[in-house]
Chains A and B, each alone.
Chain A
Amino acid sequence: MYRIDFNKLRFLICDDNPHMRRILRTLLHSFGAREVYEAEDGATALEMYTHYVPDIVITDWSMPIFDGLELAQMIRQPESNANPYAPIIMLTAHSEKRRVTVARDAGVTEFLAKPISAKGLYQRILNVVANPRPFIKTKTYFGPDRRRNTSNTYIGPERRIGGEMEVMQQPSLLDKARSAI
């Protein structure tokens, strides 16, 4: 059985609703987190993201100025000086399946529909900590692998094509981001 040392994790939560921020803060502190930063809109969250370099971002979708979807897209910039790989958990009252697809295509790591529960939040955090997915970069997408299973039987029009060309090692972008603080 795995447990998370929450006191070693740094969270950024972004929600325009102060009550939901309080709920989130309460849950994270109860899990054991000490470092929880809060933003009430996407623009502030992006600034805080660059400044504090959080390990995990939890964001609402519907917010003024720019929303959680745009925040995810701005974090997932492969050439960014900030860490483009941080797990993003979208916590939202949107409850339609098509929203999950849109969030996934923006680079969101996990989707959690409100009403929030302690169990649901814990499971999403455990998943991003224990089971990180590789990142995929295409002409139109940069983010966690959108495939949750590894079946090779898919032959639809969106299948990935092309043989392996080369493997190169690069210094960690996370190290680069953190050294810039």
Chain B
Amino acid sequence: MGSVGIIVNPWAGKDVRRLHAPVGHTPDTAKIGIVRRVILGALDVGAERVHVARDVGRIAERAAKAIDRAVLVDGPGTGSALDTRRAAAQMAELGCAAVAVLGGDGTSRDVTMGWRDAPIIPISTGTNNVFPGFVDGSSAGTAAGLVASGAVALADAGRRAKLLTADIALPGGDRIQDIALVDMALIAEQGTGARAVVRSDLIRLVVAALAVPASTGLSAIAGRTSPVAADEEGGVVVRLGGEGRRVRVPIVPGSFDVLPIASIDRLADGGSITVEGPGVLAYDGERDRVLPAGSTATITVARTGPFVIDVARTLRAAADHHLFDVAPGDSTAATRTEAHHGH
């Protein structure tokens, strides 16, 4: 039997987008409930234990309260993305067979930065998300537990995700490598500010590994012009500008901007494109890296991302094999796994 990990971004669903768009707030009580359901779901199907990364929001400790086999992992730091990356590395050292990741696209990216091969179940707790989906914690926990216990083989539970890699060459000769899971975009701004991309007139180019029509944000620009699904290889490059084709895109939820499309080019698996500064590179919808004048970023798409466990597929496999059945006469089977409130 193996163990399950849980990493929570405590500030997901609370960012500046709430000032720009009619989107809700995700309180800690909601996240505590999801984490507790993941823990209970995983233990119910035989996970040996669940490692929960401490966070500055104290979500982990409140969710794991009074569950013997839920173990808190050391941390957190100061509430930056570094906490998530470190927690992912700790989960790797602990040998977690599946890691539930609560947050947005950026949270899954940070987990990937800490553990490149992480077997993850991304759970959305915010807005504008493309990579994680909305899934109940009970089901996510069950899927994680089925993989951890070996009842469902990892290979049958999902597949490896695509990854965007930016190899950046700075004017002074320094080189940096960044990653993203959904999209990378060049924005005509000077700084990262409050990170969210809300001004469509400053978007110059989007490279998307996931171009989903039914989404909001940068991925939707590519999604509404040249969709690329998670199971399709490669990606798409959309340049904005010019006087030609124009499309409507919700850059922030509820706001439909008209954007000029200069060109659309498919990017094959392993293919790359080079962009030049100055500007700011946004990763998975958030301004992240300032690209000074004279610098370049070569962006490559390939199926080298984290392994994503598909909750529906995993539970379907378990149901098909009657893995939820209790053997007749099994007196050790509890009639109910405890589900007390964790807060």
The finding on whether chains A and B are genuine partners in a shared complex, rather than unrelated, reads: no
